[in-house]
Amino acid sequence: MKKSVAAAAAQPHPPGRLIRAAAPAAPVSPPDWLAAQSGSTQYYWSDRHGAFEMAGIGEGDAVSPANGPEGWPALFTLLRDRLPAGQSPARYYGGFRFQPRHGRASRWRDFSGYRFVAPLIELHRHRGATTLSANLMADGGGGVRDAAERALAALDRMSLEPAQKPAAPQSHTREDRPDREEWEAMVRRALDAFADGALRKVVLARETRFVTDTALDPVAVLRRLIRNTRHSFCFCFHPAEDRAFLGASPERLFRRAGNLLESEALAGTCGRDPDPAADAALAAGLLSSEKDRREQAMVADALRELFGHWCGTVTMDPEPALLTLLHCRHLLTRISGTLRGPADDAALLAALHPTPAEGGGPRRAALDWIAREEHVDRGLYAAPVGWIAADSAEFCVAIRSGLVKGNTLTVYNGAGIVPGSEPAAEWREIETKMRNFIRVLRHDGTRHGT
């Protein structure tokens, strides 16, 4: 690998473009490799089928509002201008705030309105092959010597030894914001707002803070989250020493490869039961639930309309299917299409985010209601996070996610409120969605406090 970096440093390159040096690596689990590395900038992404994983350390290039453009179209253009030409596997990883101009809680300060990174050193596994690579940004003269020196230093520090398990917290306290009484009152206000018909659905978020007796290691939390999750996009963005955003989301916002576009409508929730008969009854109840079917149909109808506008041919599941996760189930409808014209990921993102599954509907009315009534700074929660490559992109919706800061894990979840929703049932639904994080804390051996 060092020879590849040195060879790249010896050649001239196009100024302002990423140069990728890569070499085959021994098979190793990317999360385990990441846990063994030192440093405060760490990144992880995996698709939900386990075909692709990336673990990264350091930053070969990072773009945020502090050094990048303001609008999404200009951002996508900038990133693609910096990516290597041709069929390079190089990608920028990152995401956007749920509403860039709303909320400025200090705990989100390292994430800005958007932030995308090409890690300095990456270990990625794709379809069984493991590769170690370096992303080197060419300077104004086309040289990468400075970047190569940083990469070589990082490679010298890189450890291939198994990570030591960090000391586990022994106890934690919990605080819900809003608390149950305030939450149920907010749901009732939403139900009242449906009366005039201007608002048909609104998605309300809640944050739950777990404070432990010792500092939390974000990568350790991530590894336990991966073990307690299936059929989910797993991610960790750790740009600063004391904070990281991570999660395991079952929901794709969109994937585009060439002119093929894919998305899905995910909504409606029920829990799981260890008893097979009771578990089957829960699944049947979700499929037959008029309220959940109506909520999910609102998302599917919105996607059908958008795909009809963007695509020449559209394929959509005729009926919602069950998506079965470890701790809950959802209703899922898949949709795909062939784009009519040139791909425009920024326009696709603006059209799709937020879907009715994250904001509500109609979109503007729902977002205005959330801005007025919901006193949670969502930050990256329920926002698009993913990757951008030269001629493809994929974003999931950052649900089932949390922010680690020191000894505090703040978990974010939401519930879709429609006419007929019951406040107490919506509270219980969020508790169901949060089980993967609660299990992560219990796996640490932590005792629940008050």
Write out the catalytic residue numbers: 201, 251
Residues with Cβ within 8 Å of 372's Cβ and at least 6 positions away in sequence, in order, are none
Q: How far is CA 175 from CA 145, 195, 213, 299, 449, in A?
A: 49, 32, 15, 31, 10
Determine contact, residues 180/415, Cβ cutoff 8 Å: no
Buried-state track 35-52, b at ≥16 Cβ within 10 A, e below 16: bbbeeebbbbbbbbeeeb
Q: Is the dihedral of CA 49, 360, 403, 104 positive or negative?
A: positive
Output the six-digit token pair for 8. Answer: 């790249």
Q: How far is CA 157 from CA 121, 150, 220, 393, 440, in A?
A: 11, 11, 20, 32, 30
Q: From its phi and psi, is residue 248 left (phi > 0), alpha (psi between -120 and 50) or beta? A: beta
Angle, CA 90 vertex, CA 89 and CA 93 arms, to 5°: 120
Query: At 271, which amino acid appears?
Result: G
User: Using CA atoms, how far apart are residues 134 and 148, in angstroms rounded to an integer?
Assistant: 8
Beta strands in 10-128 (DSSP E): 18-24, 42-46, 52-57, 61-63, 92-96, 114-118, 121-126
Tokens 């990608």 belong to 91
User: Using CA atoms, how far apart are residues 287 and 217, in angstroms rounded to an integer?
Assistant: 39
User: Using CA atoms, how far apart are residues 384 and 264, in angstroms rounded to an integer?
Assistant: 14
